[in-house]
Structure 1
Amino acid sequence: MKIFDLTGRLALVTGSSKGIGYAIARGLSEAGATVVLNGRDREQLEKARAMLSAEGHKVHARSFDVTDFRAVEAAIAEIEAEIGPVEILFNNAGLQHRAPLEEFPVEAWERLKATNIDSVFFVGQAVAKRMIPRGHGKIINVASVQAELARPGIAPYTATKGAVKMLTKGMATDWARHGLQVNALGPGYFKTELNAALVADPHFSAWLEKRTPAGRWGNMDELIGAAVFLASDASSFVNGHILYVDGGITASL
């Protein structure tokens, strides 16, 4: 269907050298978009670019620190000048740190805030101020079921994803009148490198399968349909929405 076709559009996906970001980038490419990958690890980033290019996808790579406002502004200016206007942004870069709240290191708290919240504001603002004069654009922030639900040992992460949820709503409130759609994708529990320790823990996996109505972990390719929907014309009147892809975990006690 043409309303899901992303042919000719340029998408930037932060934190996309692996994991959910890579899966989203690949899905957008399969829908026709040209994709700019981003990450701080240049070697891993180039590996990801080469893999997607080998599959025939139109893909570029730009390594910059999404927690550095000046680096973000310079990178977006360069992308727009050298590759083209960013029409789709996925703010995916994220970090996790697990520790008891009463012992949670201040340094880890600061890293979580910078990576999970500051980057969404910095990249979102840099891209939006270029989208606004053009009168259209898609910004999708990657939130989490932890924007709604807490679990022991990850309270600061939960706080950051709650902030992403509300920043998404605020962005939509400010920018919808300019023709932008700003929404969030809320993954549940997926088999990713970020969750590797949990996937390998039989007790946690058993708990998760019992807690989730679908009865299993999610596979990363199951995020692609929702990602393409939010990036395409199919969501032209969807704004400030958090789309949870979680096997029903946020719907059930």
Structure 2
Amino acid sequence: MWLPSFSLEDKLAAITGATKGIGYAIAMAYAEAGADIIVIARTKDDVHQVVKEIEQLGRKAYPVVADVKDYQSIIDQIEALIPQEKSINILVNNAGMNIRSTALEVTEAEWETIVQTNMRSAFFLSQYAAKAMKDNQSGKIINISSVAGEVALRTGVVYGMTKSAIQQMTKNVALEWGPYNIHVNAIGPWYFPTSLTEELLKDESYVNDILRRTPMNRLGDVKELAGAAVFLASEASNYITGQTLFIDGGMTIYGF
């Protein structure tokens, strides 16, 4: 049989920022592909709503209410929730944020908030998941980066730095954990309508500038990220590690 398996049947996936935008799309796609989901986000009502939706698809879902900056709380809740015989097979480090300050204006407090949310949490949650994956000699870690990790944008220097760091972390841990059959890859989106971009996309001139830089001449739909996320979590990607897949309508190939 030449067609590889895209099934996530009976896998356990932990997804940060799983109640909105990209994280929500990935959570629902994974559930449809057969995975049980650890739903991680800050807002209790949102977490329990997504848990309910996943359970309606016939999969198990586990609520974890925490800010990713407090990654130890996430780990403690997972340890308390998950049956002893189960462990995380797939981790998606999706949660992220931005404060749009220029390099001349960014404060130390803004720096710390962006770095801890986008980078520090992703590393230590990956470290936690990889310990179990090493024991099982199997695992998939998917980091949500951004085109801002590859090219210079007006998104702010600290945000771009964290996304570049995510891509470099992806390469380094893929190298270190490859012998344990742990695959580590990243996805780099361009503009998708999410809570992070909602206000920006109300500006017609800003949207037109985005479209000018996008060969496909449109914004993305979060559902268009779901297939790539399932692919990278499934057996179909078993010989791929350390890569960043840009889902950007061709933006990163465009010569400005």
Provide TM-score, normalisation by structure 1. 0.95
Runs of 4+, deviation exceeding 6 Å: none
1:110 to 103, 109, 112: 112
2:171 to 161, 169, 172: 169
Percent identity of paired positions between Structure 1 and Structure 2: 38
Tell me if 1:44 matches 2:51: no
**Structure 1 residues 133-152: aligned runs within 5 Å:** 133-152=135-154
What residue number does 2:83 align with? Answer: 81
What residue number does 1:219 align with? Answer: 221
Q: Does the aligned pair in 1 maintain the 2:142–2:233 contact within 8 Å?
A: yes
Q: Distance in 2 between matches of 1:52 and 1:85?
A: 19
What residue number does 2:243 align with? Answer: 241
The alpha carbon displacement at 1:117 in A equals 0.5
Comparing 48-57 with 37-46, which one deviates more in the overlay?
48-57
2:29 to 24, 27, 30: 27
The alpha carbon displacement at 1:105 in A equals 2.4
Q: 1:168 corresponds to which letter in structure 2?
A: T
Question: CA 1:57 to 1:8, structure 2 compared with 1: closer, same or farther past 3 Å?
Answer: closer
What residue number does 2:189 align with? Answer: 187
Question: CA 1:222 to 1:58, structure 2 compared with 1: closer, same or farther past 3 Å?
Answer: same
The alpha carbon displacement at 1:2 in A equals 5.5
- May I ask how many residue pairs the two structures share in their alignment? 253
The alpha carbon displacement at 1:80 in A equals 4.0
Please state whether the residue corresponding to 1:12 is helix, strand or coil: strand
Q: Which runs of 5+ in 1 are unaligned?
A: none
Deviation per CA, 1:112-144, whole angstroms, max 9, x where unpaired?
Answer: 000000011110000101110110000011111
Q: 1:211 corresponds to which letter in structure 2?
A: R
Greater helix fraction, Structure 1 or Structure 2: 1
Q: Does the aligned pair in 1 maintain the 2:18–2:40 contact within 8 Å?
A: yes
Please state whether the residue corresponding to 1:151 is helix, strand or coil: coil
Q: Distance in 2 between matches of 1:50 and 1:121?
A: 29
Q: Aligned-residue CA RMSD in angstroms? A: 1.6
Q: Does the aligned pair in 2 maintain the 1:12–1:90 contact within 8 Å?
A: yes
Provide TM-score, normalisation by structure 2. 0.94
The alpha carbon displacement at 1:69 in A equals 4.5
What residue number does 2:231 align with? Answer: 229
Deviation per CA, 1:67-97, whole angstroms, max 9, x where unpaired?
Answer: 2343243234334436821101001111111
Q: Which runs of 5+ in 2 are unaligned?
A: none
What residue number does 1:127 align with? Answer: 129
Q: Distance in 2 between matches of 1:42 and 1:121?
A: 24
**Structure 1 residues 87-102: aligned runs within 5 Å:** 87-102=89-104
